[in-house]
C-alpha cells in the first residue's frame, strides 16, 4: 500500500510541474509577441509637418518664406506654365528628399507641382498643408 501512495504522489507532483511549465510557456509566448510601436507613425507625421513648417517660417522679421517666394512667382506670372516649371525646380532643390512625395498647390491652380517616386502602391502616408496668400500647398510623404 505504501508503494501505491508514493507512486501517486510522484505522479501528482509531475502533473503539477507540467502544468506550471505550461503556464510559464504561455506567459513567455505572450511576452514575446511584438507590440506595434506608434512612434514610427508619429515620426513620419512630424517629418511632413516639420518640412512644411520650415518652408513657411521666417528667420528674420524682414525675410520672406519659401512658400511666399513661390507664391509671388506664380502670382506675378499669372500661374503660367513657365512659372510652374520654375517653381517646381525650386521645390525640388529645396526639398531634396529621398522619400516618395507629392508637393501640390490645391487652391488656385490645383496642380501637382512636384512628385517623386511610385506612390500608387503606398498604403502609409502623411500630409501637411500650409496656406500662403491665395495659394494652399500640400505635401504628402509616402512611406
Measure the N-to-C terminal CA separation of the chain; round to a whole number of Å: 73
The overall pTM is greater than 0.75? no
Residue 38 lies in a domain: no
Residue 107 lies in a domain: yes
Domain holding 98, by residue range, is 44-142
Do 28 and 75 lie in a common domain? no
Do 74 and 130 lie in a common domain? yes
Residue 110 lies in a domain: yes
Total domains in the fold of the chain: 2
What is the side-by-side strand order in the sheet with 125-132?
A: 111-116, 100-105, 135-142, 125-132
Do 81 and 24 lie in a common domain? no
Tens-binned pLDDT, residue by residue, of the chain (143 aa): 455 667 778 888 899 999 999 999 888 888 877 776 665 555 555 688 889 999 988 877 788 899 999 999 999 999 999 999 999 999 999 888 888 899 999 999 999 999 988 777 777 888 899 999 899 999 998 87
Do 13 and 70 lie in a common domain? no
Residue 39 lies in a domain: no
Do 16 and 79 lie in a common domain? no
Do 28 and 52 lie in a common domain? no
Distance of alpha carbon 68 from alpha carbon 132, whole angstroms: 6
Q: Please, are residues 84 and 112 in contact by the beta-carbon 8 Å criterion?
A: no
What residues have CB less than 8 Å from 61, skipping those under 6 apart? none
Amino acid at each position: 500500500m505504501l508503494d501505491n501512495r508514493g507512486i501517486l504522489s510522484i505522479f501528482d507532483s509531475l502533473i503539477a510541474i507540467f502544468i506550471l511549465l505550461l503556464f510559464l510557456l504561455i506567459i513567455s509566448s505572450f511576452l514575446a509577441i511584438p507590440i506595434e510601436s506608434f512612434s514610427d507613425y508619429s515620426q513620419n507625421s512630424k517629418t511632413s509637418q516639420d518640412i512644411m513648417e520650415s518652408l513657411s517660417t521666417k528667420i528674420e522679421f524682414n525675410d520672406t518664406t519659401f512658400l511666399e517666394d513661390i507664391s509671388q512667382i506664380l502670382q506675378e506670372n499669372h500661374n503660367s506654365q513657365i512659372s510652374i516649371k520654375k517653381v517646381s525646380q525650386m521645390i525640388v532643390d529645396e526639398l531634396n528628399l529621398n522619400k516618395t512625395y507629392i508637393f501640390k498647390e490645391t487652391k488656385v491652380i490645383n496642380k501637382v507641382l512636384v512628385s517623386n517616386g511610385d506612390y500608387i502602391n503606398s498604403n502609409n502616408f502623411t500630409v501637411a498643408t500650409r496656406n500662403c496668400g491665395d495659394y494652399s500647398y500640400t505635401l504628402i510623404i509616402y512611406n
